[in-house]
Structure 1
């Protein structure tokens, strides 16, 4: 009887230590398996058997095989890894975008300076063909750099779009894997033990999911784990996955957003709920950083091209006879993008209400009025049903500033145009005054003679003048080529700046006359005279230096020798140092002055640099936190080969001791048999 008990003890001990050796070997084999958690054989005493001499132990039983696991550390590692993935995705894209705006001679700012500087030689030699050709060459180089930068931004957008699509496909695959594992785990749980390897595989799949989207999990009694994203949107519910889809932005089809296909119903996920994962980082880059860069580039392009073309139109070119200048640069047109969720227009669904180019025809448009006042922003127009009919809410998306507008309202350098059919209540439109400006930028003038270097008007000061007044600048302010040219005579009536003016036609007949007053620092403008001047070919602004005296006479007439005049060339050169970018009208006569082109490009570089540095710092910090969380999890669940080697020796010795116990039991049994005479 004693020998049998000893045999039973030995067998139990051998089985237990063999199981421990098997688990240790499994740990060693999977030491480098991603997501594997260390497993341990849990042993339990088999209890005792009562005898008259007391309770004698019956050995050991294998209770179960457990895995090293911490719910808190697992969640912490997943969340921190998700944040790090978002920061990394955004940082990598910003690094690419930074290359679009190079420094030094390769930059757009340098090309703009070279273009304006080329007008120096034209101003010195207005009739010189080679100087004019240099201006055209520099203009072409500037336009080419604008177009190249816009093309690179479009390429980056295409890359982001493709990466979002691929990431969503990966999420769907992982969600399906989690659902399958949930089903297998729930079935295995019925046996009363945890399927450790399946649990590890599920945790690893959720960890990989966290790299794409930040997820939260809720466990169920059957062992399954439901996965949620975006503050509560189900991704996996038990054994049923939800399919994610890439949906086009409601305004801009070139951009993608994250959507959910819930039983055939497509819904767009609010971006503000996507707080982690590479998809969130890509969407943030696409919707914020890339939009800001495109708008800053477009603002610079619009300001330069708009002012240059406008000044070109105010001058006379080198053709015979001289003509008012044609445009030098062509830019991409401003755009109005209706929301895909807008109501039907005139009974036709928005999705099919298109023009010949396949673009939705909006009932909203915009017209650039003052290029110097354009801001680096998109705008959203909303048909707010709480406002009176014909009024709309316009929000500048760069800073969230809102105002009420109607048809013809002037905002930040552009005019809002609303035509019939009027937008329905709650319709939305995305207005892009400058976002597409640099796209397809090109020089449109090829003939050097087309450069309008001459001013259409010239000033003369009578020889008999006694004051010190001289011209500090005479510039055309508007041109009406179909109107007749008129000459002006300004006669000062006292020493305080009061004067009389007279307009005459080509026959020297008086057309209109009046009086005005000049003060130091203020120009004399023909379009400000009272009574208003009749339609004339050129309106102009004369800036004086010195002080006129009573009886002094100034004449303004059409330029007689346009080929030798450099007035408009000087005006175009002056744009180099003028604040033509980003001027703001704040109302009540308050104006925020604009900045020069070179300063504007420097601001672009600074803005992109700040974004890159901020993203890099966030990436470094979140990566460090994620690595610390992973290390804490690995310390808890990872396999230490030195420790496993020690356990291998421990369990080997225990197994050998158990085998020795069986040997002793066998010897005792043999002795008993011999004693019994068997």
Structure 2
């Protein structure tokens, strides 16, 4: 061996250590690059040369540049990031929703209480114009708060729609980036070496997709990576991508769903398969939390408006002559939204079959029958071909319960009417009895005289009565009390509450008569006495204090001086604590009372509050898990500047030693030349 062998060893050593220095410098330069994995040079010996004295090494070779990578940790970091993003997106939206339901004196429950309390002054002074004006002001304030909350919910929906569109655009861009990198990586794989920086960029792009959608990946033999979402839907397959699209909800055009455009075929992805990423969080909030909040708010609005307006109609206003009260509060009515996938209506696709207002015309209509029984839910009506003609399946979406209905069926306080042309087989309709109620709430009455403070009926006790019975309450319960001209006379026949009753018309002619029994604590209702003739409708409810005695006479007839009567104002006051919201009539006929307006609003606050706190906790927990997964990945693949600085010194010294080896080899070579000379 000569000086040339030593020089070769030095050259190889310098080359190897220079490569190591270069890799270390690359690490230091990319310490803050997102997704970068630490790289290191892998060295191998150059083998040995046999001599009679043994094998002499021939130095070192640079085998490859390796990146630190863990498929398991990378997958865990990506998955946990997707779950954290979903929880964070839902939590952020719920916190925005919570602002639509203020507490205390700014809340809807407080405004409702103030509305009913305003009737106290009207009851004390029925003819006082200022007291009546206060009622209008309080009603207007209640309507304003309902409308404001409804509009905030609508604005939140618009924000979710915009964010979904932007997120879908980002996913498509990132998917295109992954496909592009797949092509470059597959081309580079032919060299026999791995393109580390390209692999890092692809991993980072896939991780960024996880922020929007949870993904699964499968590596191919050519080095490309296929990406799948939603339980197997391909997003990237080699160098090909599937475009995600924002699909308008089949029922409600204001909502978006996630869909795919696969080779020109557009289809909606099932929401239950979208389990991670901010898109999943937004869809869950939109399809569950936001709908529930809108329906709970609408339930309050519809129940209060229906009850107040019904009581208004049972009283007499302050005009001359007095007439039945007109509506005090107006809210949005029930809506029917046909599916865009329904069969054509009279040869015109449902999606384009519209009325003069631009709304799609369905084959179903809704009307509120009993506002206190309205529930906070949407319903889906399905023309099931397996049922008999004229029968349909109705599913309450809030709990999934189903029943068979037909034209004229009354369910949860609303009536379903099938109008021509009848739905075709497999047609679907989304029924929204209360969803639009709050956002369209307005004051319907502007004249203080229009407040129906007077009751159409009054009670008179005979001056010769010997019992202690006095009037506790009297209110009309019929639908057209102002048209009633009948007078009822009750004559008690013993001291235990038995009585005879007579109904006489304006000419004092006997219409009907009968007997009854009064029990302490129970009211006397005229429903069973009501004549069949609509023009003679005469319904009222009377409560007594004290005890009547035999021979006592009580007369209930038309109010003589409506301007001074406060009977209906007192009934309005009673609505404050009445169970107006969420009454349920079970199949057995048992009635489960509803709750008061203030309690209903408190329930909404509690429901939203629980969701907000639960979402916050879930977001904090998933964020912590994601941070731990990211930290574990960083520990494995990240750049540590202290370690790199130590390696820099190590490789620098090795390089200098190799240079010294070359210097020695050169000196030996010069000596040999001098000796030869």
> Above 0.5 in TM-score?
yes
Q: Distance in 1 between matches of 2:494 and 2:481?
A: 35
Which segment drifts farther, 77-86 or 350-359? Answer: 350-359
SS of the residue 1:367 aligns to: strand
The residue aligned with 2:258 is 258
The residue aligned with 2:35 is 35
SS of the residue 2:42 aligns to: strand
The residue aligned with 1:67 is 67
The residue aligned with 2:92 is 92
Deviation at 1:510? Answer: 1.5
Deviation at 1:211? Answer: 0.2
Query: Is 1:143 the equivalent of 2:136?
Result: no
The residue aligned with 1:25 is 25
The residue aligned with 2:660 is 660
The residue aligned with 2:508 is 508
Q: Distance in 1 between matches of 2:52 and 2:494?
A: 139
Query: Is 1:350 the equivalent of 2:369?
Result: no
The residue aligned with 2:632 is 632
CA contact (8 A) 1:338 1:428 kept: yes
The residue aligned with 1:82 is 82
Matches within 5 A, 1:198-217: 198-217=198-217
CA contact (8 A) 1:46 1:58 kept: yes
Deviation at 1:481? Answer: 6.4
CA contact (8 A) 1:527 1:533 kept: no
Q: Which runs of 5+ in 1 are unaligned?
A: none
The residue aligned with 1:114 is 114
TM-score by length of 1: 0.98
Q: Distance in 2 between matches of 1:130 and 1:425?
A: 58
Deviation at 1:365? Answer: 1.5
The residue aligned with 2:523 is 523
CA contact (8 A) 2:314 2:481 kept: no
SS of the residue 2:90 aligns to: helix
Deviation at 1:532? Answer: 5.4
Deviation at 1:483? Answer: 4.3
Q: Distance in 2 between matches of 1:531 and 1:515?
A: 15
Q: Distance in 2 between matches of 1:517 and 1:342?
A: 57
CA contact (8 A) 1:516 1:530 kept: no
Query: Is 1:163 the equivalent of 2:163?
Result: yes
Deviation at 1:263? Answer: 1.0
CA contact (8 A) 1:516 1:529 kept: no
Deviation by residue 1:350-379 (Cα, 9 ceiling, x = unmatched): 112211122111111211111111111111
SS of the residue 2:440 aligns to: coil
CA contact (8 A) 1:480 1:536 kept: no
The residue aligned with 1:44 is 44
The residue aligned with 1:393 is 393
CA contact (8 A) 2:530 2:537 kept: no
Matches within 5 A, 1:238-317: 238-317=238-317
Deviation at 1:520? Answer: 3.3
Which segment drifts farther, 388-397 or 448-457? Answer: 388-397
The residue aligned with 2:377 is 377
Deviation at 1:588? Answer: 1.4
Deviation at 1:511? Answer: 2.1
Q: Which runs of 5+ in 2 are unaligned?
A: none
CA contact (8 A) 1:456 1:538 kept: no
Which segment drifts farther, 296-305 or 393-402? Answer: 393-402
CA contact (8 A) 2:526 2:538 kept: no
CA contact (8 A) 1:251 1:337 kept: yes
Q: Distance in 1 between matches of 2:479 and 2:61?
A: 102
Q: Distance in 1 between matches of 2:433 and 2:518?
A: 38
Deviation by residue 1:175-216 (Cα, 9 ceiling, x = unmatched): 100000000000011111100000111111111100000011
Q: Distance in 2 between matches of 1:50 and 1:200?
A: 43
Q: Distance in 2 between matches of 1:593 and 1:484?
A: 30
Matches within 5 A, 1:201-600: 201-480=201-480, 483-529=483-529, 535-600=535-600
CA contact (8 A) 1:526 1:533 kept: no
Which segment drifts farther, 210-219 or 359-368? Answer: 359-368
Q: Distance in 2 between matches of 1:514 and 1:407?
A: 38
CA contact (8 A) 2:582 2:593 kept: yes
CA contact (8 A) 1:515 1:530 kept: no
Deviation at 1:474? Answer: 1.2
Q: Distance in 2 between matches of 1:430 and 1:229?
A: 29
Deviation by residue 1:70-122 (Cα, 9 ceiling, x = unmatched): 00000000000000001111111111111111111111111111111111100
CA 103–525 in structure 1, closer or farther in 2 if over 3 Å, else same: same
CA 131–495 in structure 1, closer or farther in 2 if over 3 Å, else same: same
Which segment drifts farther, 469-478 or 661-670? Answer: 469-478
Deviation by residue 1:539-596 (Cα, 9 ceiling, x = unmatched): 2122233333333221111000111100000000110111111111112132221111
CA contact (8 A) 1:482 1:537 kept: no
Deviation at 1:395? Answer: 1.3
SS of the residue 1:421 aligns to: coil
Q: Matched residue pairs, number?
A: 677
Deviation by residue 1:431-467 (Cα, 9 ceiling, x = unmatched): 1111110012110111111110000000112222233
CA contact (8 A) 2:456 2:482 kept: no
CA contact (8 A) 2:315 2:481 kept: no
Deviation at 1:534? Answer: 6.2
